[in-house]
A and B are shown apart, each in its own frame.
Chain A
Amino acid sequence: NAGVTQTPKFRVLKTGQSMTLLCAQDMNHEYMYWYRQDPGMGLRLIHYSVGEGTTAKGEVPDGYNVSRLKKQNFLLGLESAAPSQTSVYFCASSEHPGTSNRNEQFFGPGTRLTVL
């Protein structure tokens, strides 16, 4: 099993450009999450999904959109990138909290995004 994979691993954008980050998991997890990690701050939740076709806002959703058309994929879109979105982005997945007493989150390797 590959676990959680993210593409791309690195990307440099100019202000105003758009891009999509792809997260894929092969563990049949219901829940998927997008986080950003910035220096001196904890991971912050951008958006999450509790199942195929559903998405919800997290702590810092502005400037991002997401889609979960297939259970195994969770896409994060930046429609018009800004320098404030320079960050490392992590995707994670987990089982439904109600069905697992471990509820461990499995993380992807991260995407380092720089917006100039």
Chain B
Amino acid sequence: KNEVEQSPQNLTAQEGEFITINCSYSVGISALHWLQQHPGGGIVSLFMLSSGKKKHGRLIATINIQEKHSSLHITASHPRDSAVYICAVRIYNTDKLIFGTGTRLQVFP
């Protein structure tokens, strides 16, 4: 069993829909990251969370430390949101990240 599990693996949506991507982990962590990988391959960091909730534009990330679960929400989805979204956790007391396998999102006009 992977230490970081994401669901769903693939997701399609119509423009304007509300999107939720889930991440569960089984290890002690100091932080959780959400990353976006564009179709061209580039990876950018969206959020780093250690508790609660963060919002940036149409993106919202939440984390529940007790349940070892995080969600990434996209409101009013747009075709330009089409990408692979990756969850990664920083193992407690280390410098290392462990990555999920990603959720491939396609948003159609």
Tell me whether A42 and B99 are in contact in the complex, defined as CB-CB below 8 angstroms, given that A103-B48, A103-B90 are known contacts. yes
Please, which residue of chain A has its CB at the minimum distance from the CB of B46? A104
Cα A110 to Cα B48 with chains together (Å): 22
B97 at interface by CB-CB < 8 Å = yes
Top 5 A-B pairs, shortest CB-CB distance: A42-B99, A107-B43, A43-B99, A104-B45, A42-B101
Residues of chain B touching chain A, judged by Cβ–Cβ distance below 8 Å, are 2, 4, 30-31, 33, 35, 41-45, 48, 86, 88, 90, 95-102
Shortest C-beta distance, A97 to chain B (Å), equals 6
The answer to whether B90 touches A42 (Cβ under 8 A) is: no
Among B31, B86, B90, B95, the residue within 8 A (CB) of A43 is B86
Tell me whether A110 and B99 are in contact in the complex, defined as CB-CB below 8 angstroms, given that A42-B86, A102-B48 are known contacts. no
**B interface majority secondary structure:** strand
9 of the cross-chain contacts (CB-CB < 8 Å) are A43-B86, A43-B99, A48-B95, A50-B95, A102-B48, A105-B33, A106-B45, A107-B44, A109-B42
Contacts of B102 in A (CB 8 A): 42
A44 at interface by CB-CB < 8 Å = yes
Cα A92 to Cα B37 with chains together (Å): 14
Tell me whether A110 and B41 are in contact in the complex, defined as CB-CB below 8 angstroms, given that A42-B86, A103-B90, A104-B48 are known contacts. yes
A82-116: CB near B (< 8 Å → 1, else 0) gives 00000010101000010000111111011000000
Contacts of B4 in A (CB 8 A): 42
Cα A84 to Cα B100 with chains together (Å): 21
Query: Chain B CB within 10 Å — which of A41, A42, A104 has the most?
Result: A42
Contacts of A106 in B (CB 8 A): 45
Shortest C-beta distance, A43 to chain B (Å), equals 4
Contacts of B30 in A (CB 8 A): 97
Shortest C-beta distance, A95 to chain B (Å), equals 11
